[in-house]
Amino acid sequence: MTEEDGLKPINDSDMDSLFVLPLSIIPLQTPALQAARLIKNVRLRSVVEIFSDIQTGSGQIEVEALPAMFSWPADQVHPDLMILRRLALLPSYDVYSLRISLREHGIMVNDYAALKLSPEKAAELTRYMVMFTRPLMKMIYSGEDVNFESYDDLLRLFRDPDVKKARVRLESMAKSLNIEVFDVPRFLEDYGDTFMSLSYFRHCLDRLEPYFTACVRALAPIRSHFQLKQNVNLMKTCDMVEEVINSMSATITGRLEVFEKRTREMWENISQEEFRAIRTMVERYHITIGAALCGLTVIMSSFARMFPRPNSGGPIKRADFIMTEMIQGIELIRDVEKRYMGT
């Protein structure tokens, strides 16, 4: 996809999305809400989406407007409202952040096993997973011709190694981990989800690149417009939009590169303690990275919906969108970086 081809809004399945929470996984009492979704709008406010259709659009309602909509008693807080208020405060709805946030906030789900990426998304992430598993393959299957299409394929290779040298190396690995050989696949499966989360976040960042480019380029006509360039506040806002995009992209990239480097080093000095240390380090940043990527994805997707091509709209229309819609979300993303991403 190129800018000339046109940028489409980012549209993942509910469980693969950074900014959509299907309320079917939350035990709510109101039947109509069980079929609804909690989504982040361009201002990064959480709203309940009652319906969504190409023809009719998206039917959204503020969380605080639900009591009037469903005629809940005014003299007490409905249990569903209490839950939705807490859910609305979560900065990202990706499955990795949700696993942590829902437990921290004491919010139950119908099935915690549902908090995982779809098989289609997992397959899409295979090329990213290779970055984390290639050192492992080299360690065990060095010089052998083996291929795998998914992490499950990789685990099958370790469950039934059919190469003599591989079995010997696998035994050595098990010894380093202080576990039995037949426990190695189970051990790797436990930590595979950590690698998958890193692959997911890298994928989400990479696909935003053409959106970043299109958005930054769209600022130039605004800055040079004979009337708009007189608006000092608008010019400062354009500078902030560009700074936040460039800064957050670099910050997230740097954080992911640290994780990837630490993972490569882990295979050279393999131990259960090192595995646990890396998983703890990665999980520490799940929510902050998820929050930043969620915000950027929502804003870039909304920008693409309004201005899918370089000639869509004009400087005045784009300036109005930035000042009335984008600015609040951009400020929230900037606050996330200042508060969390540098630590």
For residue 150, count other CB atoms closer than 10 A to its CB.
14
Regarding whether 111 and 159 lie in a shared domain, the answer is no
Q: Residue 5: pLDDT above 70?
A: no
Question: Which tokens sit at 222?
Answer: 């605004």
Regarding whether 278 and 166 lie in a shared domain, the answer is yes
Regarding whether 226 and 335 lie in a shared domain, the answer is yes
User: Is 8 contained in some domain?
Assistant: no
User: Is 110 contained in some domain?
Assistant: yes
Regarding whether 323 and 235 lie in a shared domain, the answer is yes
Looking at 88, 115, 142, the residue that finishes a domain is: 115
Expressed as residue numbers, the domain containing 29 is 14-115
pLDDT tens string 128-177: 888 877 787 777 777 666 666 667 777 777 777 666 777 888 888 888 88
What is the structure's pLDDT at 3?
47
Regarding whether 107 and 129 lie in a shared domain, the answer is no
Number of domains comprising the chain: 2
> What is the Cα–Cα distance from 187 to 175, expressed in whole angstroms?
13
User: Is 263 contained in some domain?
Assistant: yes
User: Is 21 contained in some domain?
Assistant: yes
Looking at 81, 115, 149, the residue that finishes a domain is: 115
- State the pTM of this model: 0.89
User: Is 1 contained in some domain?
Assistant: no
Looking at 78, 93, 115, the residue that finishes a domain is: 115
> Token match 């069980």: residue?
34
Regarding whether 128 and 111 lie in a shared domain, the answer is no
User: Is 3 contained in some domain?
Assistant: no
pLDDT tens string 12-70: 999 999 999 999 999 999 999 999 999 999 999 999 999 887 777 788 999 999 999 99
Regarding whether 101 and 193 lie in a shared domain, the answer is no
pLDDT tens string 62-104: 999 999 999 999 889 999 999 999 999 999 999 999 999 998 9
> What is the Cα–Cα distance from 342 to 338, expressed in whole angstroms?
7
User: Is 325 contained in some domain?
Assistant: yes
Regarding whether 81 and 142 lie in a shared domain, the answer is no
> What is the Cα–Cα distance from 279 to 122, expressed in whole angstroms?
19
Q: Give which of 32, 30, 37 is closest to 15, Cα–Cα.
A: 37
User: Is 287 contained in some domain?
Assistant: yes
